[in-house]
Structure formats: C-alpha cells, structure tokens
Chain A
Amino acid sequence: MGKDVLTGVHFLSGNHACVEGAIAAGCRFYAGYPITPSNEIAERMSVRLPQVGGIYIQMEDELASMAALVGASWGGAKPMTATSGPGLSLMQENIGLAAMTESPCVVVDVQRGSPSTGLPTLVGQADVMQARWGSHGDYEIIALAPSSPQECFDFMIKAFNLAEIWRVPVIFLSDESVAHLSERVVIPPKEEIKLVTRKRPSVPPEKFLPFKPGSDLVPEMPIAGEGYRVHVTGLTHNEKGYPDLSAKVHNKLVPRLVNKIRKNADKIVEYEELFTEDAEVILVTFGISTRICRDVIKRARAEGLKVGLFRLITIWPFPEKRIMALAQKIKAFVTVEINLGQVAIEMERIVKERCKTFLIPNAGGAVHDPDEVFAEVKQIVSGLVE
C-alpha cells in the first residue's frame, strides 16, 4: 500500500494539492467525469486512490457521479468528486438528494469562465450562487474557497471534516487560477492532521431512529447494510427515515436541514482579516482574488490609506455577524470578485444602510488587474472623504 499522507515539502498545483488533502482527510472514494480545468484532480486520483486501497470510478457523466457519491456516503466512505461549472449544474439534482438525505460528501468545483461552456480554460468565480442553491428547494450547504495550493490541501481537510460533522455536501469553490498555480505545499505529519468522522449510532438497531437529530440538529449515521435497516429517501421522511408525505413532517424536516447550518453558523464560519482594526474601507474577497487584494492593500497602506481586507474562507454560510459588526465602524465595503456581483449582493443585503457598499466586478477570463483595482479603490476612498 502507498502512503496516504505524503508528509514533507512539495511543489504542487492547486488541483494536485486538493487530491493530497482529500486522501489525507480519509477520502477513499472518487466518482467523476472529466472536465477542464479540474482534470488533474481526476487524473491524480486515478493513480493515488488505488495506492491507498480506495475506489476510483470514471462515470458516464456528472449526474451519475454525484448519485454515486450519495451511494458511497451510505456505503460508509468519505466520498468526493471534482468538476467545473457545467458539471456542477448537472450534479444539482443529486446535491439536493445529498442535502435531503444528509449524506456527507465533498464536491470540488474548479470555477471557469461561464455561463454555459463559457471559457473552459480560463478563470471565473461565478458559481457562488450555484453552489448555494443550485438545486431546487430549501436547503443549506457549506462552501469553502482556497486561494493557494497550500490552502487547497488544508481546506480539503476542513471540507471533509465539515461534511462529516454537519452531514451536508461541502462545495469546494476552487478556481482555474488556484487550480493551475504550482507552489510550495507543506504536508504535516499524519498525527498532526485532525480528522473527524460522522457520528455513528449510539444505540442498538431496535432503538435507533436514523433521522432523529441530536442537540446539534444532526442525526447519527449508520452504514447501509450493517443491520440498522436504514431507509434513506429523497421523499419527505420522518425520524425513522420512512416517507411521510404530510405538511407536518415536512415542516419539521426542512427547517431542521436549514437550521443545522444557520443556527450553527458560528461554529462553521471562517474568515481572515487584515488591517481591519483601523480600516475605513474594507475589501471583501475570496479565492484567487484574495491575492490581488493583498497586493492592493499593501499599496494602499504604503500611501497611508486606511484600507483593510476581509477574506471569506467559508462563503456559505456567510459571515454575517462579523460583517454587520464591521459595517458599524467603517465607511465602505468594496467587494472584489470574478463575477458580476454574487457576493456583493449578499453584502448589500447584510450591510443595508450601515455603511456604503461597492463592487469591482469582472466577468471572468482573467483575474483583476491589481493596478486597476488599486485605482478604483483610491477613487472610492477619495470620494468618501468629500
């Protein structure tokens, strides 16, 4: 058997780092369908998973891939797939099934220029909303966005842990630039990697209710075929897991699926702040755009401008509380994202009249030009003074 944790210093692309993060996190099942710019994930998985006793399957399309993840989840694995926008669209029906059946899994979406076939080989960040509610109905998922190969490794471990704890699909919103960037990646010793696995049944089968939640709103999860006679269904179901097509049961189940994330958001949300203590203007960003903004902040500070950075690590759930608190004391937020305002609209919703909100959009194909972002930020700052 090959090593699951490749402890040491490596030079890896974001996509390859995702694979190593996943395997270190205990992923042993991959089902997927090739698509640019995610292909290096499937290709490395096809080599690495057999080395560690895992299962790699190239499926006939993305619908089947995502359905296989639900099967794998109930088969006891920590499953994952990787795709890009068009594939994520095809996965949505089964992402809904995973949310409804509380099947832990990780879906890597290497975002490219979109909509539709768009710009297959060039960067985009426009799947933010598709990640959140691309499937029909009310549900919540968790989405993380890395900005470097190192974070691809680190956040994949987070992604699997979060999927296991909250029993939701976790969408890993990478992008073409991060995916194809090669940098130093430090993989820690195996003992230092903290892994979490789903809660397992704590009572014998005759007393077990597979969809009865604990105080965290998450139920314990058996494996299909291990004696708990589980019934897992996308139909509205009661705590036994059996279909119960009544408004009463529906109004218990769906709010719980949503609230297990909304009410526990404080335990899930992660972000990074830079120079926010004294900032008058804060740039809000994620993924590859973080790196553009870091550069802009440096230049702004060198010119004495009080500009800070708020970088989303989890995009969903959104760090609402912290943004509201910051909005009380600053003059403006400026969202920088490679789309036409998907995070920005969420910012407007949260910030309301507390301070101003701006957007520096970009339809995709290339990252923002730092010179242009800096010029716009300067203009915004000077406009605020007048």
Chain B
Amino acid sequence: MRVSALIPKYPEPETYMGHTHYCPGCGHATLHKLLGEVVDELGIRKRVIMIEPVGCSVLALKYLKFDGIQGPHGRAPAIATAVKRLRPESIVITYQGDGDLAAIGTNEIIHAANRGELFTVVFVNNAVYGMTGGQMAPTTLLGQKSTTTPTGRFAEFCGYPLRVCELLNTLDAPVYLERVSLFDVEHILKTRAALKKALLNQIEGRGFSLVEVLSNCPTNWKMTPEESWEFVKNEMTKVFPLGVFRDK
C-alpha cells in the first residue's frame, strides 16, 4: 500500500484560495482561511458579497472566491448597507481593519450598527495601521510604540484605546457582538465559531453582527510572530477583554 493512501482526503476548499501576500505569521491570512472554511461549511459562497477595506486586507478578494466591492477607507458599512438592502438574498460581509473601522470609518460603523443593518462585520483589531507602515491606530495600547508615537502612546496627547464592541454595545439594534482572538488553537476555533454564528444571524435575518478579532502585526510591531501572539494574549486582551458582549 502506498503511504499517500493513508493520508485522509480533505475536501478542496471552495472559497479560500490561499497564497496570500501577508507577512509571515500575520493573522489576516489565518482569518481569511477561517472565513473561507465557514462559508464553505454553510454552503453560501455564491451568495456572499464582501466589502473590502483599505488596509492590508485590500486584496482579500484575491484569496476568497466571492463577489466583492472595495470601498474607500472606512466606508465599507455604507456600501454594505446599500448592497444588502438591494440584494437581501445575498450574504454581505464587511472585512475591516482598526484604522478603517475605528478611525476614519467610526461614523459609518456606528450608524450602520444603530440602523441594525443586516450584514456581518469582521473587524480585525491589530492595534496599528499595518498597511501604511505602522502608525498609531485608535486601538494602539497606552505606551505602545508606533511610527507616529515613537516614544509610546500617551493618553494625554492621543487619548485611550477605543473599544469598539463596548461602544457598539450601547446601541439597541445590534444582535451579536463578540471579541475573539487568534493567539492559540483554542481561540482560533472560537473565532471560527463566532464567524459562523455571525453569518447564521444574517442567514436567519436576525440583525447586525460584528466579530472583533484581536490580531497581530509582527512586521510593524517589530516582533517575531511568536512574540506578537504572546503580546496579543498577554497585553491586548487586558485592554480588550475577550467575550460575548451582545447575543440576542
């Protein structure tokens, strides 16, 4: 018997195409894969329309076989609103970074959530502007260095890390808000489950769902991938506690 016959055959992923441009160890790639897997599992690939942000994931649709529209920086929720209302049978997902969603796009996300728009938000919080080379994000931790806070973020000048789930949890409309992470297998599986739940909420027409994923940016944090996941686990979760904020 040939050895290869012993290797179990996994189904070819339908959605996730791999070969991403992300830096080694970057959470974006893991998250793309999870999203692809969940979409395959739910059998909704052909119904998905994903709104890409401006950020490192601007090329997400190169790796995920969906229809999609790339919006201007921060405006994905506004585009998603229109797409979902016109094509209610579609599954509309926005995929946004923390600069995109929590700085320039804060307005759009709050109002889309407050209107209870029936789409799903995948929010990647890596505490930095990855794409533009490591500037401070609204989510950068106090004391954390970035190219625009070379001596660390001080609350006196830059305020405090913005907690998106907690902020949106003050609104009536959202049905599901959860913060998850990718720093170990257990949490990767939790993230997978959260993505599935958020998409099911949309399939069942329940309402606005957002999954915040604490991720990393080894390149701009100037860490190895291992160190970066340690940072997520030990430092980021202190400021951004994991858990379900809303499930109704």
Contacts and interface: CB of A to CB of B under 8 A. Distances in A.
Contacts of B129: 34
B150 interface: yes
B132 A35 contact: yes
B103 interface: yes
A34 B132 contact: yes
A117 interface: yes
Contacts of B135: 34, 39, 42-43, 58
A260 B189 CA distance: 65
Given A35-B132, A58-B158, A43 B54 contact: no
B58 interface: yes
Contacts of B150: 43, 46-47
B104 A61 contact: yes
A39 B133 contact: yes
B81 interface: no
Interface in A62-115: 62, 86
A71 to B, nearest CB: 16
Contact of B147 (A39, A57, A116, A117): A39
B72 A116 contact: yes
Contact of A117 (B54, B74, B99, B158): B54
Contacts of A58: 135-136, 148, 158
A33 B99 CA distance: 10
Contacts of A42: 135, 148
Interface of A is mostly: mixed
A60 interface: yes
Contacts of A47: 150
Given A34-B132, A39-B133, A42-B135, A117 B72 contact: yes
Contacts of A39: 132-133, 135, 147
Contacts of A56: 148, 157
Contacts of B103: 33, 60-61
B104 A33 contact: yes
A34 B98 CA distance: 13
A334 B138 CA distance: 48
A366 to B, nearest CB: 21
A56 B147 CA distance: 13
Contacts of B58: 117
Interface string B63-76: 00000001011100
A36 B147 CA distance: 13
B219 interface: no
B114 interface: no
8 contacts: A33-B104, A34-B129, A39-B147, A58-B136, A58-B148, A60-B106, A60-B138, A86-B73
The 5 closest A-B pairs by CB, nearest first: A61-B104, A34-B135, A34-B132, A46-B148, A43-B147
